[in-house]
Every structure is written in C-alpha cells, then in structure tokens.
Amino acid sequence: MIRIYNTLTQQKEIFTPIEPGKVRMYVCGMTVYDYCHLGHARVLVAFDVVTRYLRNRGYDVTYVRNITDIDDKILRRAEENGEPFTDLTERMIAAMHEDEARLGVLSPSAEPRATDYIAEIIAMINTLIESDHAYATDNGDVYFSVESFEGYGKLSKKKLEDLLAGARIDVHEAKRSPADFALWKAAGEGEVSWPSPWGNGRPGWHIECSAMSNRCLGDTFDIHGGGPDLLFPHHENEIAQSECATGHTFVNTWMHAGAIRVNKEKMSKSLGNFFTIREILERYPPEVVRFFLVSSHYRSQVDYSEDNLAEAGRSLARLYHALRGIVPANSGDVPETDHDRRFVELMSDDFNCAGAISVLHALANDINQHRREGRDGEAKEAATVMIRLGAILGLLQQDPDVFFQADSGGELSAADIEAKIQARAGARKAKDFAGADRIRDELAEQGIILDDSREGTNWRRS
C-alpha cells in the first residue's frame, strides 16, 4: 500500500491507479532555451526516484515528461544568438540529456515536444471555443475564459474574486477578463508561426501540456508532477482547459517537488546565486549531487550550500566505505530482510527518501560490525541488500574504488598515486618509516587519503 501526498486534497491518500498494475504519470519538463539549473535537477531526480520505486513495487509505469521547444523565451534567446530557434532547442535538449544521464536519471517512457503536437493543440482549442470556454479575438489571439470554469482555483486554493481584484488588462491584450490566459498567440510579420483557423500563430504555454498529456496518457491519468513554481498558474490552467475540453477529471494525484534555496535565499539570477547543473558537476561528483537531492523529502525545501554538499559527500562516502573490498552475494540468493521491509515501509509513505537512506546507513553499520567479528558471509549478504536498495534511489551502483578514486581534476593521476603507494610500501619494508610517513603526508596535502589494512593499502580522494 503506497500513500502519496496529493496537492489537490492537501493530504496523503492511498494510491490506487486507474488501471490495476499500471501507472500513467506526466511531469512538466524543461523550456529549452538555456542549460538546466539546480531546480530542474531537483525535479528530475525526485520523479526519477518515484518512477524507480513504483517499478520496483511491480507497477508498469508510463512516465511522460514533455519538452517545451517553442516559447517567447526561446525565440528571444535565439534572436540574441543570431541562430534559428531549432538550433538552440536541439543544443539545449542534448545538454539536458547529458546532465540527466550524469545524475543517473533514467530516460522517460516518452518525451513529447510541443512543436510535434500543433495539430492536437489546435484541435483542443477548437473544442474549447465550441463549448464557450474560449474565445478568439479580432487580432487572432485565443483566450481561455477562466470564469467559465466553476472549479478554477481548486488546486492552488486561490479564489477567482481575489485574482480579479485590482487586476488590469494590458493595453496590448484583447481579452475579456484579467484572469483569462492565452491559448493561441497571433504571430507578427516574419515571426515563427503555424497556420490555424484564427490566423498564423503559436500555442500558449499552458495548452501545450494539456494537449500532449491527453494524447499520450488519455483524458484522465494517475499522477501529474512538477516543480513548486508550476502549481499556479500553469497547473491550475491545465486543469481548467483539460477538464473543460474533455468533460472528465484531468488528474487524480498531483505531486510537487520542493523549492531550492541557496544559502537560505531563493535561487535567482538577480541575486547571483543561480547555478546550472553542469556548473555544479564541475565541482562535485554527480552521485554526491544526486545523494544531496535525494537526502531530503521530495516535498521539502532544499538548501544548497557548500557545507551541505560536503556533508552529502561524507555521508555517501561512509556508505561506499562499508562496501569497499566486499564481493556481494548474488541478490537472488539473499532473501528479504527486515531492512528491506523497513525500506519499503518508509518509501511507501509518500516516498520518504530521507528515511530510506537511514536504512542504508543501518546496513553499513551492520556490514562494519560483521567484518569486525569476522562474519564475512553475513557482511556480503548485508552488502547485497544495501546495493539493491540503493538502486531504487539510483545510488551505490559504482564499484567503491571507482567512487573513491574518481578524478576530480587534481594533479595526480591514479597511476601517479599507485606509484607513490608502492614507493611507500618499499620504504616501510626497508624500515624507512620517516620516508613512508613523508609520502603519506605528501599525498594527504593533495587530497589523497590512504587506508591501510591487512589486505593492503587502498586510497581515496578526499
């Protein structure tokens, strides 16, 4: 039994998919005019974990994450760059795929692009006009009439009268009410556009997701997710136009990831605390960044700071250190344990990843204790459980030595380090302990930590 916090009802609910054994989920993806930032990483990783866990529990998950590849921001950026907008979007989509792969994010089942669904968008707008939920203006714009949908505000808990109070209509707009939003934008001479019954133009942002999700998942589907900034107006508008177009409930469960703050301030370019994923990955290993994002509950606010990333690195290193030097048993040979059951209990309670990670640390403690007591078989079994549970979070799938010895751009290569370790071993054999200590200290100064054991010397980057 899985319980999920539903933003619509503001409470945890037992998750019951529309079709037994199958889950249909849509998550709002990127508007591809720039590189993905840390807030995008939060959403990418959060719903990757949701997908992994649901599949682990036996569900057949269809995960759709769209790409907005036509938008005013895209057109402005392409004009600034002096390039076709399609060149810009293709480059940014490729970069997004690189970033998500480095973070261990699995590809969605489908990744529809808005420009491939123009016909579906136009058809949905036509349906809304015919049912008096939308109207075309003389200049070729089409707007959704918010007052025509009685349930407007049910997701965000905003009241229409409050939204209308003091609101004004821009002099360039021809909409009837300040709360109405664009479904179709008329294009000027020479602008990127598609033909439509109302003249050449391009779709508004909100209608894209309704058309794509409807085509890919049907009138009603199980889960809709996204970042916290999308709850209003984007998701509210999606509900309004979708339910007016189909006459059915749009989504059963709404999920929203928590916001990212940087040193306890909102992340924004104006404050100079805005980081792209690739900027962060230049400074921290990808799995450390993923661990940092997974360590907090997906709905909670995450504070990005040097200290918090460093602590995430130390915490992940403790897990890998427990696995180091162990050849795990075959997963199929290790039956379900109390740790497995506790992990499932926590993850089934609204995907409590922070609690699930505490189970991994408990397993690490068990492994270390088994090793101290010479119970190697039990250590191997605990390591197997730890790795298979870590996989559900997208963690602990590297060889520990690869994790510890990954090149972080330092001066010493792995071969250089191994040569120094051999030189140190030679010095110790010759009873030149001062020379051996000097090599250890030299390595430590360059961030290389040596771990001596009866099996030999392992090394890791600090």
Q: Enumerate residues 6+ apart whose C-beta is below 8 A from 28.
A: 65, 66, 209, 225, 226, 227, 230, 234, 235
Domains of the chain in sequence order: 3-257 (3.40.50.620), 261-403 (1.20.120.640), 407-461 (no CATH)
- 40: tokens are 């995008």
- 400 pLDDT band, cuts 50/70/90, is very high
* pLDDT at 139 > cutoff 70: yes
What angle, rounded to 10 degrees, do the helices at 353-372 and 306-323 form? 40
Output the pLDDT for position 411. Answer: 59
Output the pLDDT for position 462. Answer: 67
For residue range 86-131, list pLDDT tens digits in order.
Answer: 999 999 999 999 999 999 999 999 999 999 999 999 999 999 999 9
Output the pLDDT for position 242. Answer: 98
Q: Compute φ and ψ for 250, nearest 5 degrees.
A: -75, -55
Output the pLDDT for position 431. Answer: 87
Would you give the distance in Å from CA 362 to the centre of its chain? Answer: 26
Residue 222's nearest CA partner among 436, 459, 14 is: 14
Q: Enumerate residues 6+ apart whose C-beta is below 8 A from 59.
A: 17, 21, 22, 23
Output the pLDDT for position 52. Answer: 98
Which whole number is the average pLDDT over 262-291?
87
Is 353 annotated as ligand-binding? no
* pLDDT at 414 > cutoff 60: yes
For residue range 216-258, list pLDDT tens digits in order.
Answer: 999 999 999 999 999 999 999 999 999 999 999 999 999 999 9
For residue range 284-329, list pLDDT tens digits in order.
Answer: 999 999 999 999 999 999 999 999 999 999 999 999 999 999 999 8
Which residue is it, tokens 């619509």? 8
Output the pLDDT for position 169. Answer: 67
Is 244 annotated as ligand-binding? no
213 vs 163, residue with greater confidence: 213
Which whole number is the average pLDDT over 43-55?
98
Q: Enumerate residues 6+ apart whose C-beta is below 8 A from 343.
A: 356, 359, 389, 392
Output the pLDDT for position 315. Answer: 97
Output the pLDDT for position 96. Answer: 98
Is 431 annotated as ligand-binding? no
User: Please, how many CA atoms are within 13 Å of residue 152, restricted to the half-sphere of its CB?
Assistant: 23
Which whole number is the average pLDDT over 346-375?
97
* pLDDT at 265 > cutoff 90: no
Look up the pTM and report it: 0.90
Residue 403's nearest CA partner among 309, 276, 318 is: 318
* pLDDT at 374 > cutoff 70: yes
Q: What is the number of other CB atoms lying within 10 angstroms of the CB of residue 256? A: 21
Is 269 annotated as ligand-binding? yes
Which whole number is the average pLDDT over 337-345?
98
- 408 pLDDT band, cuts 50/70/90, is low
Is 216 annotated as ligand-binding? no
Output the pLDDT for position 410. Answer: 52
- 277 pLDDT band, cuts 50/70/90, is very high
Output the pLDDT for position 330. Answer: 86
Output the pLDDT for position 421. Answer: 85
Q: Are 6 and 12 in contact (CB under 8 A)?
A: yes
- 119: tokens are 């016909």
- 406 pLDDT band, cuts 50/70/90, is confident
